[in-house]
């Protein structure tokens, strides 16, 4: 995989890894971010991508309060860039806001990533940050290949034109002032979203996109772990 280039010295880049969900759809007594993939918890793989990337200056890890000690043990053993560990909120957006409070005040760029997405291309961060030269926010997307159906109950209501439709992934990149303002406004409006870029869209800003092809899998169902294991098997740069 392509490696990230050195960033301009003027750019301070922070990454928030959100690993505070309960994972009810995963049907496990263990929150899915602590389920193991290749002998390491999913949170490890998410953190590793930022730890080894020279563009990233600091990481803020957001976890469920019950597992903070577990997170601290992992960080102390494996990660030097994690500047703070904080407890999550009742929603994903609330967890991101708690992470934002721990991000360095000197951050120019803030990346937000799902802690249950173990893999993405090594050069993705560089491409996202590069896109911020044109846009205030940038997200990775993957074009949808399946035929899309809008459902009504247990029946098909209509077929949706998939032209120009893409699935949003993470990490998502933002100018620091923009993502802080977007979350502050959403909190004021009591607007909830599972995707941070939606909050920026509400401000009337255009989101830049970076196309990604490597399986950027979000572990939601137990079978997703099988896909992640297959993706792990084809990677040639396993962190150790």
The count of residues in the chain is 240
In b/e form, how buried is each residue of 24-51, taking b as 16+ CB within 10 angstroms?
A: eebeeeebbbbbebeebbbbbbbbbbbb
Is the confidence at residue 176, as pLDDT, over 80? yes
> Do 72 and 65 meet the contact criterion of CB atoms below 8 Å apart?
no
Confidence (pLDDT) at 224: 86
Mean pLDDT of 75-94: 96
More confident residue, 124 or 27: 124
Confidence (pLDDT) at 41: 93
Is the confidence at residue 98, as pLDDT, over 80? yes
pLDDT band at 151 (very low <50, low <70, confident <90, very high): very high
Mean pLDDT of 163-177: 96
pLDDT band at 240 (very low <50, low <70, confident <90, very high): very low
Mean pLDDT of 201-211: 97
pLDDT band at 130 (very low <50, low <70, confident <90, very high): very high
Is the confidence at residue 2, as pLDDT, over 80? no
Confidence (pLDDT) at 32: 86
Domain at 13-234, CATH homologous superfamily: Spore Coat Polysaccharide Biosynthesis Protein SpsA; Chain A (3.90.550.10)
> Do 123 and 210 meet the contact criterion of CB atoms below 8 Å apart?
no
Confidence (pLDDT) at 239: 47
Instruction: Give the Å distances, CA to CA, from 162 to 11, 193, 206.
Output: 37, 23, 21
**Secondary element (H or E) of residue 95:** helix 92-102
**pTM, two decimal places:** 0.90
């Amino acid at each position: 995989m392509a490696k990230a280039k050195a960033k301009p010295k003027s750019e301070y880049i922070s990454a928030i890894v959100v690993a505070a969900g309960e994972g009810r759809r995963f049907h496990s007594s263990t929150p899915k971010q602590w389920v193991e993939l290749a002998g390491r918890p999913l949170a490890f793989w998410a953190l590793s991508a930022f730890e080894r990337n020279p563009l990233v200056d600091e990481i803020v890890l957001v976890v469920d309060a019950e597992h903070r000690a577990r997170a601290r043990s992992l960080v102390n053993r494996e990660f030097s860039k994690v500047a703070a560990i904080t407890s999550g909120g009742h929603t994903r957006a609330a967890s991101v806001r708690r992470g934002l409070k721990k991000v360095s005040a000197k951050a120019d760029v803030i990346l937000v990533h799902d802690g249950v997405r173990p893999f993405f291309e090594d050069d993705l961060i560089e491409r996202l940050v590069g896109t911020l030269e044109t846009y205030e926010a940038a997200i990775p997307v993957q074009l949808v290949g399946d035929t899309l159906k809008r459902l009504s109950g247990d029946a098909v209501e209509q077929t949706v034109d998939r032209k120009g439709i893409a699935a949003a992934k993470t990490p998502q990149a933002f100018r620091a002032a923009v993502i802080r303002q977007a979350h502050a406004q959403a909190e004021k409006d009591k607007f909830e979203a599972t995707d941070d870029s939606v909050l920026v869209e509400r401000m009337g800003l255009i989101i830049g996109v970076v196309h990604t092809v490597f399986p950027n899998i979000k572990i939601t169902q137990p079978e997703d772990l099988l896909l992640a294991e297959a993706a792990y098997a084809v990677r040639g740069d396993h962190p150790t």
